A and B are shown apart, each in its own frame.
Chain A
Amino acid sequence: MNQIAIIARLEIRRAFFSRRALWVYLLALFPAALFLGRGVSVNYDRREYAAKPATPAVVLDRLPVGTTDAAALAAAGPPLRDHTWKRAQTTHRSLHYFDGSNRVWLQFENGALKNTRRLPLNSFDQDLRVYAGVFQYFYLRLAVFFGCLGIFINLFRGEMIDKSLHYWFLAPVRREILVLGKYCAGLIAAAAIFGGGALLSFGALLSYQTAADVEPYLRMDALAHGFWYVLAAVLGCAGYGSVFLAAGLVLRNPIIPAIVMLLWESINGFLPELLQKLSVLHYLQSLCPVPAPIDPSAPPLARMILSPAAPSSVWAALLGLVALTALVLWAATRTARRLEINYGTE
């Protein structure tokens, strides 16, 4: 244990402070930056719309599809914004109103009302669903995946490219210990960066909500939700990290397993239920407290095929991820014992 701790301490600085880590920080902090930006935008909108004239919702609701733009203008009065553009022989016009709590867009095609789009200034429930989507579709699937690729492949493959791995192998330490030490360093760095990123973005999401919305949530679910999001991010780092560490040990070009894994995880939703369970993402998503929304604008065929498997139980998900990590690490330590350095082929 002492040796593992020493190796981890030596490696961890590289994982945290190398120039390459900048990309990892950007990936981890991007959602937090977006939600902070959203907070600024919501606060600005609240101030802006408070001073604008409101059109009663009942007037806007009364306009049926097919109403001409002139008739809509006569009924609803001058809009806050009027935007007209032309695309493929069709003239589009969008009239923007505010009904006191929602922003409303009346969308016309060739002068006839096609649809009415209504968006509240801010909806906490909707933001929670958006966060679930961002966390599961972007954070786990892309940010944690590519971040771990950068951190864990660097641990062995990076040393081989730098032609410095033999220094580690000359040290009086067993190869298994070396693998575990390096893995711990990578895991601590990845968990701190991505766990911290998840927590920060969750905090940013709550920061701009109204007290009426956020106080009951803070009393009831906020802590539990925050905990599960962070745990999912950390376990994602553990699972993906072990795979990429092993890939860096076994293969000269670890991008190939990364491509295979990326494709496998990407088509996960389209696979039969049994195959869906053979992916890291399935177990990570099972840990998430809010299910990710399916994009309503996705083609009907895609929505039909896209049938997420029933989430595994929390214990099954935890056990599955830990078992996968342990298995891959065991295989990696076995490989490391037989590893011979041949810098010439790098």
Chain B
Amino acid sequence: MNALIPQLINLFAAVILILAFAMLSQRRILNLIHLYTWQGLAVVGSTTVVAYVTDQHHLYYSAALTMALKVILIPWMLHRLINRLNVRWDIETLVNIPTLMIVGIALVVFAFNVALPISRFSETVAHGTLGIALACVLLSFLMMITRAKAVPQVIGFLAMENALFLAATSATYGMPMVVELGIALDVLVGILIMGVFMFQIREQFDSLDISHLEKLKED
């Protein structure tokens, strides 16, 4: 086996991490969707490589599914959504990107620290990427917290799902097919519901700013 191939997996993982950071600091909604698509593509690449190295056929299916869903279908839906919501060129004001980056770096260090003892026990080819996957989960979570608008939050949620998928492939060569299909379907349904939800929010408040939801609180 070519020694380069495991390196390829690490490369993809690194790309995913960089994309996660990029998403964290990206203000433009359109660019966010592009970044998300690229991230999906990187996940597909990493999965395919793992499948090739370990000769696990079901991972090819996973990769195909991810490709169809996260690189084609969901981005297409998101594009449609922002067109119809007319937020294609929206720019979000983000507070203090440098601080956010520093917090993100601290999270990555923490994630590696946590993942280290776990990945040491794992004997899979990609065990080194577990820390990256965990870091991506935390970064996406951070992105969800810091965003005030609805669409970026949804993208944060989707990115988190990507990272979880990466974690699954790296630690245990993927989840059982049934679980994977279930999650894929969940994400799809989730995004549909959130799409409807966003229309409702805008209708109600004339804006997609989530802070308006505070008014729903019971006093």
Q: Do the two shown chains form a genuine complex with each other?
A: no
B→A interface (CB under 8 Å)? none
A residues lining the B interface (CB < 8 Å): none
